[in-house]
């Protein structure tokens, strides 16, 4: 039987996380799985489980509806649960450096997103639902197996910075993006100097101190 103190916590790996925690940073923690009970941490606004050995995210991740920043970069994820679409308060999502072969259509429900990083995965296409992310300003899609961008990406009127570095041809990109805008493509075609934010999204998401 759990003690009162244990009942007020969720165990993740070797850590006991209190139910009222708002920020949780478990980078480089040797995690191989997240428990279903992580969905009980409904007060979380920032969660970073990057640089672990996670192969999947539990469906209960969708219960963390207060999250504004979620980083699961540098793991072994092959897919994202559809319940991620319930995280409608997210402004920054980093799932780069995994083994994702597709993104769920539910990602289109994350309409508050301003930064999305899906770089260095195994994506062959982006879902048309990405066109619903009308608040998006920064998009990292490089290091995948994309050969074209969906026409829906032209709906991202707020997009100001797009990292490509795929099999995409430079000629096709402007027509997909529609009307001219102040959009930076990185790498800049015809130049070896990147024109980019000061650090990748995954680095900017690591600022919260670990919960001890």
Q: Which comes out higher in pLDDT, residue 198 or 49?
A: 49
72 touches 94 (CB < 8 A): yes
pLDDT band at 197 (very low <50, low <70, confident <90, very high): very low
Q: Is residue 25 helix, strand or coil?
A: strand
pLDDT band at 193 (very low <50, low <70, confident <90, very high): very low
E strand intervals along 23-133: 23-25, 46-48, 69-71, 92-94, 115-117
Give the angle subtended at the CA of 171 by the CAs of 167 and 176, to the nearest 5°: 90
Which alpha helices (DSSP H) does the chain contain, by range? 4-7, 172-177, 201-204
The mean of the pLDDT values for the chain is 83
Q: Is the pLDDT of residue 199 over 50?
A: no
pLDDT digits (tens, 9 = 90+) for 155-188: 998 998 888 875 665 544 656 665 545 566 665 4
Domains in the chain: boundaries: 22-204
Phi-psi region of 178 (alpha: psi -120 to 50; beta: other; left: phi over 0): left
Pairing of strands 138-140, 115-117: parallel
**Alpha-carbon torsion (169, 175, 176, 181), positive or negative:** positive
Distance CA 23, CA 25 (A): 7
Least confident among 37-46, 53-62, 70-79, 135-144: 135-144
pTM, two decimals, is: 0.83
- The percentage of the chain sitting over the pLDDT mark of 70, rounded to a whole number, equals 75
Helix or strand run (H / E) with residue 186: strand 184-186
- 35-65 burial, b at 16+ Cβ within 10 Å, e below that, comes to eeebbbbeebbbbbbbbbebeebbebbbbbe
pLDDT at residue number 184: 64
CATH 3.80.10.10 fits 22-204, yes or no: yes
The tokens of 44 are what? 């979380």
Distance CA 123, CA 111 (A): 21
pLDDT band at 148 (very low <50, low <70, confident <90, very high): confident
């Amino acid at each position: 039987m759990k003690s009162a103190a244990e009942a007020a916590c969720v165990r993740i790996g070797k850590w006991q996380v209190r139910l009222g925690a708002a920020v949780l940073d478990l980078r480089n923690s040797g995690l191989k799985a997240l428990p279903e009970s992580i969905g009980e941490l409904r007060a979380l606004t920032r969660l970073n489980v990057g640089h672990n050995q996670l192969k999947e995210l539990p469906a209960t991740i969708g219960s963390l509806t207060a999250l504004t920043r979620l980083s699961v970069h540098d793991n072994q994820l092959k897919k994202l649960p559809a319940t991620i679409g319930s995280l409608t308060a997210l402004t920054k999502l980093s799932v780069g450096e995994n083994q994702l072969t597709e993104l769920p259509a539910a990602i289109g429900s994350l309409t508050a997103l301003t930064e999305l990083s899906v770089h260095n995965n195994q994506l062959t296409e982006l879902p048309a639902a990405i066109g619903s992310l009308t608040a998006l300003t920064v998009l990292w899609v490089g290091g995948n197996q994309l050969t074209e961008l969906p026409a829906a990406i032209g709906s991202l009127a707020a997009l100001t910075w797009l990292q490509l570095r795929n099999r995409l041809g430079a000629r096709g990109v402007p027509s997909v993006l529609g009307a001219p805008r102040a959009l930076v493509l990185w790498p800049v075609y015809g130049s070896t100097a990147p024109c980019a934010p000061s650090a990748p999204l995954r680095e900017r998401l690591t600022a919260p101190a670990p919960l001890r």
